[in-house]
Chain A
Amino acid sequence: MDNNKHLKYFKIENFKGLQSFEMNNIGQFNLIAGDNNVGKTSILEALLFSEELEKLNSYYFHAFTERNNLTSVKEEFDFLSYYFNKQTKSSLIQYVTQYINAEKNSFILRTSSIDKLEQSQLEKLKNKLLISPKLRYVSILERNNQDFAIDLMFNGLGKYPYSPMIFYTTGYRNDLIGFYSENIQKSQKSKSMFLNSLNFFINEIEDIEIVPSEMNNVSLIYIRIKNIDELIPLSMFGEGANKLFRILLEIEMVRGQRLMIDEIDTGIHYSRFKGFWKTIIKSAINNDVQIFASTHNLECLKYFKEALEDEDMILNQDNARHFLVEKIKNGETKAYTYNFEQFETALNMGNEVRGGK
C-alpha cells in the first residue's frame, strides 16, 4: 500500500456515541467487527472525513439523510450537530489523521449559526450568502489549531451529490444509473473489467444497458445474458448481485481514496463469500481504493481469511487488517488491530474475533 491518500492512523473525539476512538496500523482492506451498538456504523461515518470542507459537508449530509431515511432537510437545520457526541454535549468534533508517508494532522469541526459569526468570517461567505440567503448555519474546519475553512452548511445535493459509504439498507436504486454512465460506460476497458467481475454473480453476463422504462419515464439498468434475447432488469438478480454491482461501481467512483461499506455480508450467501471477497479485493487493488467494511458474520470473516490464503492473493495479506471494536471497562470504545497472521491464528484456533464475550 503506497497511496498517500490512504489512512494509516485515524482518531476521533466527540463523534456520535464515540467520546474518543482511534484506529492504529490501518491497512488497505479493513474489516470492522464488534457487538451491537458498539458504534461500527458511526466509525464508518466518521471515516467520511475529508480535509475539503465542502466535500465533508456533502458527505455527512448524504450519510445523514441516508441513515435517517430522509429525502430532504430544512435549510435552517444544523444537520452536522447530529454527529456531535450527546453525552459530552460537545459542540465540536476532533479528528487526527495520518496518511501513508505523511505526518499526523489534527482537525476541529464545529458549526455556528450565521448570527454568531464575526464580521471577518461573514466576509468570507459574502458571495455564497448572496446565492443562498436562506441558509442559516455554517461549518468551520480548523487544521492544527489554525483557521482553515468556513462554509455554508448546504442542506442539499451540493457539488458532491454522493458519499463514499454504502449503508446496509441500500439496495438497487436509480443513483446507480448516473454512477454507471459516468464511471464505467464511457470506457470500453472499464466496462470489460466490470462485466468480468460481475460474472461471478451473474453468469454469462454480456452487457449492461440503460433503458427508459415504459411505465414512468425513469431509466433502469438492464442486463444482457448470453443466448437470452430479452434484457433482464438488474433488480431481478437478487440482493447479492445488486450489492456487488453497487460495491464495484463505487470502488471505481472513489478511485485512489476510501470506501466504507456497512454490514458487507448482508444479502450474500455463505457459499459465495470467498469469491465475493476476491472480486472486491481485486477491484480495490486495481482502483487503489482503501476499504473499510463492517460485519457481524463469522463466515464472512472466515472467507475473508480464506480468500487471502489463495495463492493469487497471498501478497495482499500484508495489507489486510481486522479491527475488533469493544467498549472496555472505563466506558472507552477501543479498536484492537489484528494483522493478518494474528487474525488467521485466532480463526484457526477458534478464538473469538467478533467481541461481545
Chain B
Amino acid sequence: MNELVLTLGWLGIYAPMALGAAASAVGCSIAGQASIGAMTETEGGYGRFVGVSAFPSTMVIYGIVIMFTLNRDVTP
C-alpha cells in the first residue's frame, strides 16, 4: 500500500510537467504548421508567426513552475 501512495505522490508532482510538455509539443507542432502555411500566403510580418508558434510552449513552462511549487519529499 505504501508503495502505491508513494507512486501516486511522485506522479502528482511530476505529472504537471510531463503532461504540460506533451501538450506543448502537440500545440507547437500545430501552431508551427499553421504558421508555415500562412507564411507562404503572406508577404512580410513574419514576426507574428514566430510569436504564434511559441504560444503553446506556455503549458510546459507553467508545468515547470507547478512542479517546483509542489516539489517536496514524498512520505506515505
Are chains A and B native binding partners rather than an unrelated pairing?
no
